[in-house]
Structure 1
Amino acid sequence: MAAAHRLLALGRSVQILEATDHVGGRTRNVDVSTGQLDAVTDDVIELGGTWLSPEHSAALALCRELGIAVYNASFVSSGSAVPEDAPRPHTSCSEEAWPWWFWGSDYPKDQTHLLKNTVFHDGVRRFLFRTPSELLAGLTRSSVQELQMAGKAIDDAIANVSDSCWDAGEVTASWRHLDEESTWSFLNGKLSSQASKQALRNCIHNKNAQEPEAVSLLYNLLSFKGCNSAGPDSQFRVRGGTQAIPMTIAAGMRDKIALGSPVQMLQSGSTGIIARTLNGTEYRARAAIVTGPPPAILGINFDPPLRAPDAQLLQRMPMGTSLKIAAVYRQGPWWRELGLQGDILATALPKEFSLPEPDSEMPLFVQCLDHSPFSQRLGVIVCFMEGRQNLHFMSLAAQEQQSLLTAFLKRSFNDSRAETFQPSFVALNWADQPYARGAYTGFFPPGVLSIPEYWEAFREMEKAPNVFLAGADYHRGFGNGYIEGAIRDGLLAAERAHARLLSSQVGQELLV
């Protein structure tokens, strides 16, 4: 949608072919007061991509252009719009930083003293914290020391990653060495306690929604280095939900959008582009911008076929496994009166809240947080189910899922109202969505990024004459894997398509 918005501003005409019945990709709103999907109200929560950092300049600029407000996700200053010249959050050397492995909400440091307590589970122990020092004090000394040593190893490895990040011009020998290992194989030998190992798993779940054994060390080093995002990633939410961004754009071009129109064939040649949808409708244009996660792109028959490195690369970009399940309380965010922020983290839980053998040491719930809507008329706790936890959780009946969640919230908040208030539930498992097949993004297993032909294929946006591939999964720069990357890549694809049409002096029409 960002690409179409930009192309219209450049004077081009566009036609949007949307595979699903809604716009927004992996953003999806639900109004928790009515249950309506794809709503833009003050009672919505996000079932997909949610947060923006102050460093996400493209997303914040687009919100300002569209007249959409953002607000502090911590609710410390709810409802405050962010002006164009908003200062960056104040930090000082005296303010504590979260450790590298922290997988909780990344709120600005200068808000820490205003936040309520986060709940942490370490087996049968439960403790509360607000600051990094309080978190570290609650953990065993051996676990903290192990994680500090692992952090030192990460810092040493990051020194071998180019400062140009995704703009690196070529694969180097050091990249090849870092890409030979998974994140787990590199760090597991430095960790011995179950608590520190689970902290690592939770950290990688938070980044990739997948197990660290499956993810390239090099890929995660780019993230640890700050190549993908920076600043407090959890600072802002969008009033009306993040889907308000594409829906606001769509409202101005309804006659240009064909919903439920998955493209099955895309033909490019000297006479232009022909796109044929599942129902047989054909559309003609001079250029096309193709968006969507790798599984969706692989479902399109390209004529001529994608080059072998492009097709092979897409096959080597599996999706993360992510679900958000929300408990919705009509009584409002009642946990705040207990002095609780609503955030919950865990490295170990009793047997009834853990995975079955052979993963019985893994907690089922590792991160939950207050996800109440802007209005705060309803209280919402959302829990992330990722990787192995997701696969097990989705094997359970809905009633069992809901009973486990409310029992866990009762234990976490030490308050029976988690159950007696009888919340309603809403959930979306992105792996079940046929044109997503996972979230947050496509990630790289070991041994992919360091292959020169795959690296070049990843860097090249134009996959065939006048056919451009764009999205958060493919963005070669800051924002990769984030809403920010989706917007930046869409804008870049629009500019490149526009420039290509200018250089070839062909017509106006573009397919998106």
Structure 2
Amino acid sequence: MAQRLDSRSPLKGNHHCDVAIVGAGLAGLCAARDLDTAGLQVLVLEAQERVGGRTLTEHIDSSTFIDHGGQWVSPGQERIVALAEELGVALFPNWDAGLTVDWSGGVRSTYQGMFPPGSGHAEAQVRDGARKLTQLAAELPLGRPWEAPSATEWDSRTYHHWLAENIPSPLAQQGLARALEGVFGGGPGELSLLAALAIIRSGAHEISRLVSAENPGPEHRFIGGAQQLCERMAQSLDERIITGAYVAEIEHGNNSVQLYSGDLTVSARRAIVTLPPVLAGRIRYSPALPAARDHLTQRVPMGWVIKVHCVYPERFWVAEQLSGKVTSDGGPVRVVADNSPPNGSPGILVGFIEGAEARRLAAAGREQRCAETVAQLRHYFGTLAGRPDAYFEHAWGDDEFARGAYGGYWTPGVWTSYGHTLAAPIGTLHWAGTETSEAWNGKLEGAVHSGRRAAAEVLAAFR
């Protein structure tokens, strides 16, 4: 089992390895796994008393689980599917058959497809806008959006400004905005157009799906939850993982690096930091990092999401031919989905409190968040939705080891000013985490890709 560091039996002294890794999420553990396979000595230092990072699974009983963090696998995410297969973790198709509930201006309706009936003009504009955005995104060098010919122009504008100029229908604007909000989680600052294009360029995100000639198929989930990927990797790495080890300081030189966590010191030849940029910037580095890298960490804030689940005896919405999905223009919970386990019992609805609503309700307390969530679900699904057997939540903004979700986002000017420092090694320091990934940035797949990329960098340096 992983070594544990707590106030009762702190791990002290000096430890030596080839590579020290900060963070035991998907990125850190994938990097550790590749380096261990290559024969290097690895130590992973994790601040929490668990592994998993921004994956977090709670088990209600032996067959029922709730994913508080990342959970969905989209078509085309080959790395994480291959990882799950290696680890013996099976997937199942997401529950999404049936009608979507729409809540607009306080009026409820149901529909099949992208928009409610009578919104044909909006759907056409969404598809046209998605095509334009995809064409613009194709001009970006993969992983280096600041090198695009129009990068400066695009980074000086916001994504919403582009939508307002190019998409006449407010409903279509909302649809295209929503297609990227699932990556950024509604931060308080405006997303730059260049950042939006970089996300589209990094993988087949929702906007790319809108222009696909074929149905790419359903998203999938992990039987037993997403966190077990990290838990199973941790089992194979065993004593090479130290939990409860908050890295406060890193000294780095030409040939070595020292990481300090309380009375624990880890000396290594190289280190990989897998934290989101804003958290990586809170570590004290000696010597100090180059100013551009430090400025980057100050300018890539986290989004804000409270993920909520309501558990019911059964999937009662199916009797009305509903999918469990919701689109809404008001209230705290504007996105809902069916998050029931593979056998369909019990029925579980997952909702997302994002952006301004998350900031408002973060200080309100669990009781009020539960009451407002249940009231909103009652509007969407009727009286049965108002009587859940249980309510679960995780407020990622209050999580001291994440400080938000789903990840860091890019306001105007940041990509072109500081983007080149995001993943570039600094001497013996390397960077990973889904924000640094050129593929599926912001997703679980991106975390896996980034960890393996950082491991390859380290191996190349040793060679």
Partner of 2:365: 397
Instruction: Quote the Cα distance in structure 2 between the aligned partners of 1:59 and 1:370.
Output: 22
Which of 414, 420, 432 is equivalent to 1:448? 414
What SS does the corresponding residue of 1:246 show, helix, strand or coil?
helix
Q: How does 1:302-381 map to 2 (within 5 A)?
A: 302-329=285-312, 331-347=313-329, 362-381=330-349
Residue 211 (structure 2) pairs with residue 246 (structure 1):
no
Q: Counterparts of 1:425 and 1:50 in 2: how far apart (Å)?
A: 18
Structure 1: stretches of 5+ with no match in the other structure? 34-40, 75-106, 108-114, 348-361, 504-512
State the Cα distance separating 1:211 from its structure 2 match.
Answer: 5.3
Q: Over residues 87-127 of structure 1, what are the superposed CA-to-partner deviations in whole Å (9 max), with x where a residue is unaligned? A: xxxxxxxxxxxxxxxxxxxx6xxxxxxx2222111123222
Query: What's the TM-score, normalizing by structure 2?
Result: 0.85
Per the TM alignment, residue 364 of structure 1 is displaced from its structure 2 partner at its CA by: 2.4
Contact 2:58-2:66 within 8 A present in 1 as well = yes
Residue 166 of structure 1 is aligned with which of 142, 152, 156?
A: 142
SS of the residue corresponding to residue 215 of structure 1 reads: coil
Alpha-carbon contact 1:122-1:346 (below 8 Å) kept? yes
1:473 and 2:424 equivalent? no
Query: What runs of 5+ residues in structure 2 fail to find an aligned partner?
Result: 1-28, 210-215
> 1:426 is matched with which residue: 392, 395, 413?
392
Secondary structure at the residue paired with 1:363?
coil
- Name the SS of the counterpart of 2:446 in structure 1: helix
Q: Structure 1 residues 234 and 292 mapped into 2: Cα distance closer, same or farther (>3 Å)? A: farther
- With over 3 angstroms needed to count, the CA separation of the structure-2 counterparts of 1:170 and 1:387, relative to structure 1, is closer
The correspondence of residues 143-154 of structure 1 with structure 2, limited to 5 A, is: 144-145=121-122, 148-149=124-125, 152=128
Q: CA deviation at 1:332?
A: 2.4
Please name the residue that 1:50 is paired with.
71
SS in 2 for 1:159: helix
Aligned-residue offset at 1:172: 4.0
Note the C-alpha offset of 1:224.
3.6
How far residue 290 of structure 1 moved from its aligned partner, in angstroms, is: 1.0
- Secondary structure class of the residue paired with 1:385: strand
Partners of 2:381 and 2:270 in 1: CA distance: 55
What is the alpha-carbon distance in structure 1 between the residues aligned to residue 407 and residue 124 of structure 2? 28
Deviation, 1:317, is 0.8
In structure 2, the residue corresponding to 1:343 is in which secondary structure?
A: strand
Q: Name 2:164's counterpart in structure 1.
A: 188
Q: How far apart are residue 434 of structure 1 and its match? A: 1.3
State yes or no: 1:491 paired with 2:458. Answer: no
CA distance in 2, matches of 1:312, 1:233: 41
Task: Return the alpha-carbon distance in structure 2 between the equivalents of residues 459 and 297 of structure 1.
Answer: 12
Aligned to 1:222, the other structure's residue is in SS state helix
TM-score by length of 1: 0.77
What amino acid sits opposite 2:453 in the alignment?
L
Instruction: Give the SS at the match of 2:414.
Output: coil
How has the CA–CA distance of structure 1 residues 152 and 419 changed in structure 2, closer, same or farther, with 3 Å as cutoff? closer
Task: Give the aligned partner of residue 50 of structure 2.
Answer: 22
Contact kept, 8 Å, 2:141 with 2:147, in 1: the verdict is no
Cα gap change, 1:46 to 1:12, in 2 (>3 Å): same
Q: Which amino acid aligns with 2:429?
A: V
Are residues 343 and 153 of structure 1, via their aligned partners in 2, closer, same or farther at CA, if it must alter by over 3 Å? Answer: closer
Matches within 5 A, 1:164-243: 165-168=141-144, 171-189=147-165, 195-196=171-172, 198-210=174-186, 214-225=190-201, 227=203, 229=205, 232=216, 235-243=219-227
Q: In the TM superposition, what whole-angstrom CA distance separates every residue of 1:394-431 from its partner, at most 9, and x where no partner exists? A: 233322222222222222123x22224x4211111111
Q: Which amino acid aligns with 2:361?
A: F
Specify the alignment match of 2:374 in structure 1: 406
Q: In structure 2, what residue type is equivalent to 1:393? A: L
Structure-2 change in CA distance of 1:320 and 1:245 (3 Å)? same
- Quote how far apart the aligned CAs of 1:196 are: 5.0
Q: Where does 1:108-127 land on structure 2 (aligned, <5 Å)? A: 115-127=97-109
Say which of 380, 384, 390 aligns to 1:417. Answer: 384
8 Å CA contact 2:277, 2:408 repeated in 1: yes
Cα distance in 1 between the residues matched to 2:54 and 2:251:
26
**How many aligned residue pairs are there?**
427
How far did 1:263 drift?
0.6
Identity of aligned residues (%): 26
Q: Is the 8 A contact 2:325 2:336 kept in 1?
A: yes
Cα 1:172–1:411 shift into 2, 3 Å: closer
Does the 8 Å CA contact 2:331/2:376 hold for their aligned counterparts? no
* Mapped contact 2:251–2:285 kept (Cα < 8 A): yes
Q: Hey, what's the Cα distance between the residues in 1 that align with 2:414 and 2:178?
A: 23
Alpha-carbon separation, structure 1, partners of 2:308 and 2:384: 18
Measured after TM superposition, the shift of residue 222 of structure 1 is: 2.6
Displacement of 1:378 after TM fit?
Answer: 1.8
| Partner AA of 1:248 in structure 2 | R
